[in-house]
Chains A and B, each alone.
Chain A
Amino acid sequence: MIFHSILFRSAEDRAPDVSPVAPDYFADLNLDQIVDAITTGKEGYDLKPFFHAPLRDIDAIAYRHEVMQALEDSRLLGIIKTFANSMQAMRRHLVQSDKLRYREQKELWFLDAVEIYCDAVNRLTRDLSGEIFSSRGLAAFRDYAAGYAVSEHFTSLTGQTKDLLADVASIEYCVLVDSPHLRVHKFAGEPDYTADVEATFERFKQREVEGHTFKFSESPDMNHIEAKVLELVGLLYPGTFIALTNFYAANKEYRDPGIMAFDREIQFYVAYLEHIAAFKHAGLLFCYPRVTGTSKEIYSFQGFDLALARKLLGERAVPVCNDFHIKDRERIIVVSGPNQGGKTTFARTFGQLHYLASLGCPVPGKEAQLFLFDALFTHFEKEESIDTLRGKLQDDLVRVHRILERATPDSIVIMNEIFTSTTLQDAILLSKQIATQIMDLDLLCVWVTFLDELASLSAQTVSMVSAVDPGRAAERTYKVVRRPADGLSYAMSIAEKHRLTYGMIKERVGR
C-alpha cells in the first residue's frame, strides 16, 4: 500500500471543503467545547479542520480505528510523542535561527535544528522498524519512513550535519580579559585554577554550603563583545566557519513533506487519546463503535456527555451515564420529563456520540452501534434575536423547514424544546405535522419536548423520560430511561418538593 496520509486512506477521503469553520450544530451539541479542549496546547498543529470534517465512508473510519487502537499501546504512543517533541524542538530552533542577527548564530541554530530532525527521523524509523501493525496506515507509514531514512539525500544530510557539529564542538579557546583589552587564542592546556583554590580551602569545610548561582542573560542573542569574540574565534578556526556558511545556504529545504504531514496528522489521534485518558482514569468508559451505514438499529450503553464530563472532572465528579437502543421501525426518541432532569444532556450525548463516531474516534460508553450520517441537524431553542422581526414561532418554523428541506433519509435530526412560545394546542398540532414529515423521511431523530402526546405517536417513536428516584422524589437522578411518558410522576415530585401533596398539606394545615 502506498502511503497517502495517516488520517486518510486516499485523497478521496478528504472532505472537499476541509475548513477551519465549525459546522452549525457544534455549539448546540457543545462539540465546540470538546474540540477546544482536545486541541488545547496543540494549536501549532492546526488540528481543528480535521475535527470539523466527518468521514463519509465506513472503511475510512475503520482506517482511523486501526491507527487509534494501535496508539492505545502506551509504548507506541511514547514513540510518537518522542518524535513529536523533537519536531517541536526543531521548529523552535528554526524560529530562533530566523530571529538572530549575527550570521554565525543563525547558522549554528539552523545546524542544531537539522541535527534534531535527522536524529528524530532516525529514531522514529528505528523504533517503528520492528513493529507489526494491523493498522494499514501505520504499516504504510513505517515503510515510507524506512525508505526515506536510507535515501541518499537523507543519509548525506545526516553525515554532513554530524561532521560539522563535531568540528564545532572541538573548538576550545581562551580569552584573556584585561579591560579595555581582550585577547583570544586556542586553548593550550592551561590548568584549571578553580580546582587549586578549592583544594587550598577545603580543610575549613564543616558541611556542604550553598553555592552561588549567578544569573547571566539567557537570551540567545549576543552583544557586540560576544560577537567580537566569536569573530576572533572564527579567525582561529576559519575552515569550520566557512563550511557552516555553505551548509546553511545549501540545505534550506531539508524537511521531507511526507514526514512533516505525518508529524501533524498523527497528533489528531494523540490529542484525542490524551483528552479521554483523564476520563478513563476517573472510571468512565470508551469504546470503538460499530458504525453502520444501512441498518438504523443503533444503541449505546453507558454513554455520557463528553463536554459535561470535562466540566465535572474539575469538580472531581463524573456525569451520569445513559443508555439508548432503538431498532426495527423505531426512529424517533421522544424525551420528556422534569426539567433539569438531564433531557438536554441526553440529546447532546446522542449527537456527540454520532459525531465522534464519524471522525473515527472511540466514543463515550461501554458499547455502541451508531449510524453513519450524511448530515447532522440540530434545532435548539435560541435566545430571541431582536434584529429579526419574525416572531419566535415563525423563526422556529423557518428553521425546522430549512432542516427538513436539506435532510435525506441518512441524516440525523436533534430537536430541543421547540414551539414553546405558542399555545399548547398549536404546539401539539405543529409538532405532529413535523413528526409526520420526519417519519416520512425515515430520519433518525431525538426530540426533547414537554408534549407527552408526541411520545406515543406511532410505532416509530420511542418514549424516554428523565427519571425520578421513587424513594426520593424531589431529587434528580439525571437518568433518562425508556418508559411511557406520564406527566404525573414529575408533577408530583415537584409538589413534594414544595410539600404540597395531599398528605403533606393535610398535615401542615391539620395543626
Chain B
Amino acid sequence: MKAHLLYRDRDADIERPLPWNEAALVQDLSLNTLFTAMARGDPFVFDVSRKVVLQGFGHGREAILYRQDVLRDCLAHPTVVRRLYTVAVGAMEAQKKHHLGFLARSPDSVLRYSVELMETFSGMLRALRQITDTFASAFGSDGWTTFFAMLKRELSDEYLASVQRHLKQLKFRRGVLFSAALGKGAKGDRYIIRQPPERRQNWLTRLLTQQPPSFGYTLHPRDDAGARALSELRDQGISRVADAVGQSAEHMRSFFIMLRTELAFYVGCVNLHDELTRKGYPAGFPSPAPADQRRLSFRGLYDICLALSIGHPVVGNDANADGKELLIVTGANQGGKSTFLRSAGLAQLMTQCGMFVAADSFCSSVCDGIFTHYKREEDTGMKSGKLDEELSRMSDIIDHITPHPMILFNESFSATNEREGSEIARQILSALLDARARIICVTHLYELARGLHERNMDNALFLRAERQEGGARTFRLLEGEPLRTSFGEDLYDSIFRSVHAPPVDGTVAAHGPD
C-alpha cells in the first residue's frame, strides 16, 4: 500500500542525503523562514518540508506537474487533507502508548505488544476508510484519485474483518499448537506454529473421526521450574509467528509513517498558502520548462521570506530573461539586489519541488542543482584568508557541479581589490558559462560588469537597481548597463543626514544588512 502523493510511481525517500550545500542554501535563501511558515508549529511538518524542498533536484517537468495537481486539490479541500494527516498523526501518537520492553524481548511479549499495536492501528484504518467513502469523489488529480482508490481496494470490509479475526486468534486463548522435529542432540527444532483445530467438533464428529494417538502431561501445581520451562517451550513454538506478527505490526506502522510523511509536505504547502493569502500576497503555480531551454521570465516576483516577516507590501520584479544564461545585477546599495537574488533562488527551488511560487507568474527551466556563492561576513578561520576562503568555497562548488546548475553569486570575490576580483570572477564565470550553467550574479565589481557588458553577449542580461532622481530607491530592478558608482554616498548621506528623520521610505531598516 503506497500513498504515492509525492511521486506518481515511487515512494518519497526523504531520508536520502540532502544536497551537500544544504547549509549554504538554507542560510543564503533564508529557508528557515519558509519552513517555519510551512510548519506552523508542527516540527514534523518542518522537517519533512525541509527535506522535500531541498531534495527537489533531479526530477523533470512531469514530476513537478504531478505534484502541482495534487497540491491544487489540497488547496481546494484543505480540511480533508488535514483530517487525513490527523489520522496518520493519531496512529503515531497511539503507538507511543504501547511499550515493548527492550530487555526481555520474548516471543510472547513481542506477540502481545504487536497484536495490541495492530488493534490500535486497525481503528485508524477504519477512519481512513470512512474519509475515503465520504470525500474521495471531490478530488480530481491523478495522485489523489489513485490514492483513494487504493484505500478503497486494500481496506475492503472483508479485509478489515479478516484482520479482526486474526488479531483475535493470535491471542491463542485455547493453547498453542506447533510442530517440531528432533534437532541436535534430540533438542526440539524447526518449530512451526500450526493452524489451531476447528473451533469445536461436535461429539458425533469426534466419535467418527479417528483421533491420532497422543500422550499428555500436566505440570504439578508447585513445579515452578516446570512452569518456566513450559512457557519457554511455548515461546519457542510461537517464535516464528511472533516474528511475523512483529514485522506485520512494523509494516503497518511504516504505512502510517509513510502516509504521515507524504501528507506533511502538502499540509505545509496549505499552511504557507493560507498565510500568503491572509496577507494578500499572490501565489501562482509556475510553469517549469525543460532543462535545456534557457527559460526565465517572471512578473511580480517577490521575496517570500521578506513578505512573511514584514507587515506591508513588498516590491515585485518583472523580467524576461528567456534565452539568457547570465544575469548580471548591479546598482545601488540597498537597492533590492540581494532581495531579488533570493526571490529568484526561492522561486526556482519551490518550482523544483512542485510548490506554488511568490509571483504573479514565473516560468523557468528546471535545473538539477542550485549553488549559492555569497560573500560571507566573517572569516571562518584564522588560517585562511578571506579570498582564500571564498575561493575554497568556489572550488567546492566546482567539485559538485551538475549538468544543469543554477548558480547564484552575491558580491563574490570582493575580498581583494577590484581589478583582481574582477579578473578572478571573469575567468570563473566564463568557464561556468562554457559549462552551460545558468548564473545570476549580483556584483559591484564594476570592472567585471563593464567588461562583460562590452562583450555584447547574446546570452547575458544586465539588470540594475533602480534609482530615482534625488537618490530615493524603488527596490525595483530594471534592465540597464552597469554604472560606475554604487551610490554609497547616497546611503552615507541618508544615514548621516537623517539621524532624526526616518530613513528614505521606511523600509530600509526592515531589509536588514544588504
A-B pairs, 10 with minimum CB distance: A178-B175, A201-B248, A225-B229, A185-B214, A190-B194, A180-B219, A204-B251, A206-B254, A183-B216, A209-B250
Majority secondary structure, B binding face: helix
What distance in Å separates the Cβ of B371 from its nearest Cβ neighbour in chain A?
32
**In the assembled complex, which residues on chain A have CB atoms less than 8 Å from the CB atom of B225?**
223-224
What distance in Å separates the Cβ of A321 from its nearest Cβ neighbour in chain B?
49
- Chain A residues 93-134 with CB under 8 Å of chain B are 96, 100, 102, 104-105, 108-109, 112
Beyond the given pairs A192-B192, A193-B196, 11 more chain A to chain B contacts, judged by CB atoms under 8 angstroms and listed by A's residue number, are A112-B185, A171-B182, A181-B219, A183-B216, A192-B193, A192-B194, A193-B241, A196-B195, A206-B254, A214-B107, A222-B186
**In the assembled complex, which residues on chain A have CB atoms less than 8 Å from the CB atom of B246?**
211-212
The reply to whether A172 and B180 form a contact with Cβ atoms under 8 Å apart is yes
Residues of A whose CB lies within 8 Å of any CB of B are 96, 100, 102, 104-105, 108-109, 112, 168-169, 171-188, 190-194, 196-198, 200-207, 209-214, 216-217, 220, 222-226, 228-230, 232-233, 235-236
Q: Does B44 contact A (CB under 8 A)?
A: no
**In the assembled complex, which residues on chain B have CB atoms less than 8 Å from the CB atom of A205?**
251, 254
27 pairs, A vs B, C-beta closer than 8 Å: A108-B182, A108-B184, A173-B181, A176-B175, A177-B175, A177-B234, A178-B175, A179-B219, A179-B227, A180-B218, A183-B216, A194-B244, A197-B166, A201-B251, A203-B154, A205-B254, A209-B247, A211-B243, A213-B243, A214-B235, A214-B243, A216-B232, A217-B232, A223-B225, A225-B232, A230-B182, A230-B186
Q: Mark B190-222, 1 if CB is under 8 A from A, else 0.
A: 001111110000000000000011111111010
**In the assembled complex, which residues on chain B have CB atoms less than 8 Å from the CB atom of A236?**
213, 215
**In the assembled complex, which residues on chain A have CB atoms less than 8 Å from the CB atom of B184?**
108, 112, 220
Q: Does B258 contact A (CB under 8 A)?
A: yes
User: How far, in whole Å, are A186 and B163 apart by their CA atoms in the complex?
Assistant: 31
The reply to whether A185 and B213 form a contact with Cβ atoms under 8 Å apart is yes
Majority secondary structure, A binding face: mixed
The reply to whether A197 and B179 form a contact with Cβ atoms under 8 Å apart is no
How many B residues touch the partner, as a band?
A: 35 or more
The reply to whether A178 and B240 form a contact with Cβ atoms under 8 Å apart is no
The reply to whether A183 and B236 form a contact with Cβ atoms under 8 Å apart is no
**In the assembled complex, which residues on chain A have CB atoms less than 8 Å from the CB atom of B76?**
none
> Chain B CB within 10 Å — which of A108, A172, A175 has the most?
A175
The reply to whether A175 and B178 form a contact with Cβ atoms under 8 Å apart is yes
What distance in Å separates the Cβ of B8 from its nearest Cβ neighbour in chain A?
17
Q: Does B187 contact A (CB under 8 A)?
A: yes
**In the assembled complex, which residues on chain B have CB atoms less than 8 Å from the CB atom of A185?**
212-215
Q: Does B278 contact A (CB under 8 A)?
A: no
The reply to whether A183 and B230 form a contact with Cβ atoms under 8 Å apart is no
Task: State whether A197 and B178 are in contact (beta carbons under 8 Å apart), knowing that A175-B237, A192-B194 are contacts in the complex.
Answer: no
Task: State whether A173 and B179 are in contact (beta carbons under 8 Å apart), knowing that A222-B187, A236-B213 are contacts in the complex.
Answer: yes
Identify which of B154, B187, B247, B249 contacts A211 (C-beta below 8 A): B247
Smallest Cβ-Cβ distance to B1: which chain A residue: A203
Smallest Cβ-Cβ distance to B234: which chain A residue: A177
**In the assembled complex, which residues on chain B have CB atoms less than 8 Å from the CB atom of A202?**
251
**In the assembled complex, which residues on chain B have CB atoms less than 8 Å from the CB atom of A105?**
185-187
The reply to whether A182 and B217 form a contact with Cβ atoms under 8 Å apart is yes
The reply to whether A197 and B241 form a contact with Cβ atoms under 8 Å apart is yes
Q: Mark B118-144, 1 if CB is under 8 A from A, else 0.
A: 100000000000000000000000000
User: How far, in whole Å, are A176 and B255 apart by their CA atoms in the complex?
Assistant: 35
The reply to whether B195 and A193 form a contact with Cβ atoms under 8 Å apart is yes
The reply to whether B174 and A178 form a contact with Cβ atoms under 8 Å apart is yes
The reply to whether A172 and B179 form a contact with Cβ atoms under 8 Å apart is yes
User: How far, in whole Å, are A228 and B220 apart by their CA atoms in the complex?
Assistant: 13
The reply to whether A229 and B195 form a contact with Cβ atoms under 8 Å apart is no
The reply to whether B195 and A191 form a contact with Cβ atoms under 8 Å apart is yes
**In the assembled complex, which residues on chain A have CB atoms less than 8 Å from the CB atom of B181?**
169, 171-173
User: How far, in whole Å, are A243 and B288 apart by their CA atoms in the complex?
Assistant: 82
The reply to whether A173 and B251 form a contact with Cβ atoms under 8 Å apart is no
Task: State whether A224 and B214 are in contact (beta carbons under 8 Å apart), knowing that A175-B180, A178-B174, A216-B235 are contacts in the complex.
Answer: no
Smallest Cβ-Cβ distance to B214: which chain A residue: A185
The reply to whether A182 and B244 form a contact with Cβ atoms under 8 Å apart is no
The reply to whether B176 and A178 form a contact with Cβ atoms under 8 Å apart is yes
**In the assembled complex, which residues on chain B have CB atoms less than 8 Å from the CB atom of A183?**
214-217
**In the assembled complex, which residues on chain B have CB atoms less than 8 Å from the CB atom of A188?**
212
The reply to whether B248 and A100 form a contact with Cβ atoms under 8 Å apart is no
**In the assembled complex, which residues on chain B have CB atoms less than 8 Å from the CB atom of A173?**
179-181
Smallest Cβ-Cβ distance to B243: which chain A residue: A212
Task: State whether A197 and B212 are in contact (beta carbons under 8 Å apart), knowing that A177-B230, A190-B195, A204-B251 are contacts in the complex.
Answer: no
The reply to whether B188 and A226 form a contact with Cβ atoms under 8 Å apart is yes
**In the assembled complex, which residues on chain B have CB atoms less than 8 Å from the CB atom of A186?**
212-213
**In the assembled complex, which residues on chain B have CB atoms less than 8 Å from the CB atom of A193?**
193-196, 241
Identify which of B195, B196, B216, B231 contacts A181 (C-beta below 8 A): B216
The reply to whether A197 and B245 form a contact with Cβ atoms under 8 Å apart is yes
What distance in Å separates the Cβ of B154 from its nearest Cβ neighbour in chain A?
6
**In the assembled complex, which residues on chain A have CB atoms less than 8 Å from the CB atom of B248?**
197-198, 200-201, 204
Smallest Cβ-Cβ distance to B254: which chain A residue: A206
Q: Does B170 contact A (CB under 8 A)?
A: yes
Identify which of A96, A175, A214 contacts B233 (C-beta below 8 A): A175
The reply to whether B251 and A214 form a contact with Cβ atoms under 8 Å apart is no
**In the assembled complex, which residues on chain B have CB atoms less than 8 Å from the CB atom of A230?**
182, 186
User: How far, in whole Å, are A212 and B112 apart by their CA atoms in the complex?
Assistant: 14
What distance in Å separates the Cβ of B493 from its nearest Cβ neighbour in chain A?
63
Q: Does B415 contact A (CB under 8 A)?
A: no
What distance in Å separates the Cβ of B346 from its nearest Cβ neighbour in chain A?
32
User: How far, in whole Å, are A228 and B181 apart by their CA atoms in the complex?
Assistant: 15
Smallest Cβ-Cβ distance to A168: which chain B residue: B182
- Chain B residues 349-403 with CB under 8 Å of chain A are none
The reply to whether A194 and B240 form a contact with Cβ atoms under 8 Å apart is yes
User: How far, in whole Å, are A266 and B221 apart by their CA atoms in the complex?
Assistant: 58
Q: Does B177 contact A (CB under 8 A)?
A: yes
**In the assembled complex, which residues on chain A have CB atoms less than 8 Å from the CB atom of B239?**
214, 216
What distance in Å separates the Cβ of A111 from its nearest Cβ neighbour in chain B?
10
